[in-house]
Amino acid sequence: MIELWTAHDASAWRAALERYDAVVARQEVAALPALDRWYHDTLPSSIAGRDPAHVTHEELVRVTEWKMARGVWRARNLALVKGNEPERVVRLSTDALRTIPDASAPIAVLSALAGVGPATASAVAAAAAPAHYPFFDELVAAQVPALGPVRFTHGYYARYAVALRERASALGDGWMPAMVERALWANVGGKRGSTAV
């Protein structure tokens, strides 16, 4: 494993990003590969195909399951997310996604839903607008020295998102914050530890 954050060579970043699917498969979480494909391949077009853009209650539950399958399973948070009224999920996600590209408003609005903190909110925002928002993952945040210890707060997410946006801009060539996040996560081998080469 290389210390990717300090690498200025875009080929190192591209190699890490190309390992993402293999690292997902190595997590030994049966549902993760299918959830990950849905999250990256289906959900963004579903959101974009709606006028106004929003997520449904079922999608919010699946996003939460994806986030937990990729990280730490928190049954209480999932129960809270499932307890949200479907109409409120649509209304608040519509309000949140209307604020894109505001740096932090979508995260704050979505966090008004039960069981939704900055990480889950960022997962929705990243699916809707990967060019503006990275998913908030503690394994990724821990690789960005200037951020300090990981804290799941709105202020910390704002600093995290700025750092990943700046890195995407520096890498150029079509890089987006969501791609930077996936490359960094794959680089450390996901939650099971460093298995990347």
Q: pLDDT for 111-169, tens place per residue?
A: 999 999 999 999 999 999 999 999 999 999 999 999 999 999 999 999 999 999 999 99
Give the model's pLDDT for residue 192.
Answer: 52
For residue 139, the Cα-to-chain-centroid distance in whole angstroms is: 12
Q: Is residue 95 part of a domain?
A: yes
CA 195 to CA 179: how far, in whole Å? Answer: 19
* H helix count then E strand count, the chain: 12, 0
> What is the model's pLDDT at position 195?
30
**Across 168-178, average pLDDT:** 96
pLDDT at 9: 87
Residue 162 lies in domain: 4-192
pLDDT at 194 over 60: no
Specify if 150 maps to a domain. yes
Please count the other Cβ atoms lying within 10 Å of the Cβ belonging to residue 129. Answer: 20
The full length of the chain comes to: 197
Count of domains for the chain: 1
- Residue 193's pLDDT band (boundaries 50, 70, 90)? very low
Alpha helices in the chain (DSSP H): 10-18, 20-25, 32-37, 43-48, 57-70, 75-82, 86-98, 105-110, 118-128, 138-141, 154-171, 177-187
Specify if 124 maps to a domain: yes
Residue 33 in any domain: the answer is yes
Question: pLDDT > 70: what percent of the chain?
Answer: 96
**Residue 196 pLDDT more than 60?**
no
- Tell me whether residue 197 is in a domain: no
| pLDDT tens-digit readout, 15-59 | 999 999 999 999 999 999 999 999 999 999 999 999 999 999 999
Task: Answer whether residue 162 is part of any domain.
Answer: yes
74: tokens are 């928190």
